[in-house]
Amino acid sequence: MKLFSGSSNMPLAENIAALLGIPLSPLELHVFPDGERRIKLNDVVLEEDAVVVQPTATPVDQNYMELFFMIDALKRSGARSVTAVVSYFGYQRQDHIFRDGEAVSLEVVITMLESVGTDRVITFDLHSIKIPEMFHIPIVHLSALPRFAQKIKEENWVNDNTVLVTPDMGGIRRIKILSGLLEDLPFACIVKNRDLVSGTIKAEEVQGHLKDRAIIVDDMISSGQTIVEAAKLLFKKGVKEVYVFATHPVFSEEAPELLDNSGVHKVYVTDTVLIPKEKRFGKLEILTVSSMVSEVLKEKEI
């Protein structure tokens, strides 16, 4: 097996390589003055199973083009198979037409990924459970929920003083799965409203019984507004401690400051997305998913 990394999350690739006991294969990336990117493999991949680690968070388009070029280079160089580890799958929230005249952007990206010769995709916590059905190649859809359950158990939070909370109705399935991993820990749901013009989010009510400690669970954090508004409502309802677990830290520029200045005690995310130093804050803790990826790769089944 040969393991390559794009530029979007080298630390994740290095962790996976260490767990597999193999080195990262050398790759040459050149960026021209106009922004175009050129990829050159500096390793022999003929008849090898190749793996590319390249999540596609910000800058999404740039990271996708880099991924496509790496896969094309591997296929042209004779790789037997190519597995794309796209731990965060960009455009996943554009999986259907919301208004007449729109493109289904996710479908376009999947088509491009398949057309360059990708044999398999490994990803985490897609926004909709229906997204894997859009692929025509094998996809391994992993979840960070077992990792979250492990951390919650380590903190001794599986008790009568804790409730799991989904910040919107769309997360009901996710919260039920996590509850099952935590001895059926009770859960509640926040009903929120989003202004379609301004984008402003307001948490309006809680469905379910609350406890002194609330653990908010979501698939991603982008602007941070959903989490902050949910926490405000929970505190207003008498909750004393609020913790947050989210798989993908797709932080906008304002998100770190919003979260750090909120009443939330701690924010746990994973390394599916590389968080630059300027976006890290005191309440943040990063949990790695590298072992989950390495276990799938060790199976060597495509």
Catalytic amino acids? 192
Residue 99 CA to residue 120 CA, distance in Å, equals: 31
Would you give the DSSP letter of residue 182?
T
Q: How buried is residue 63: exposed, middle or buried, by Cβ count under 10 Å (0-12/13-18/19+)? A: buried
Q: How far apart are the C-alpha atoms of 294 and 123, rounded to whole Å?
A: 12
Angle between helices 145-154 and 172-181 (to 10 degrees): 50
User: Within a 10 A sphere around the Cβ of 39, how many other Cβ atoms?
Assistant: 20
What distance in Å separates the CA atoms of residue 282 and residue 278, rounded to the nearest whole number? 12
Q: Is 133 exposed, middle or buried (0-12, 13-18, 19+ CB in 10 A)?
A: exposed
> φ and ψ at 12, to 5 degrees?
-65, -45
Is residue 267 helix, strand or coil? Answer: strand
Strand pairing partners for 31? 37
Q: Is the dihedral of CA 115, 119, 123, 126 positive or negative?
A: positive
CA neighbor of 37 nearest in space, from 80, 14, 67, 9 = 67
Length of the chain: 302
Q: CA-to-CA distance for 282 and 302, rounded, in angstroms?
A: 41
CA within 13 Å, CB half, 295: 6
Supply the Cα-derived Rg of the chain in whole angstroms. Answer: 20
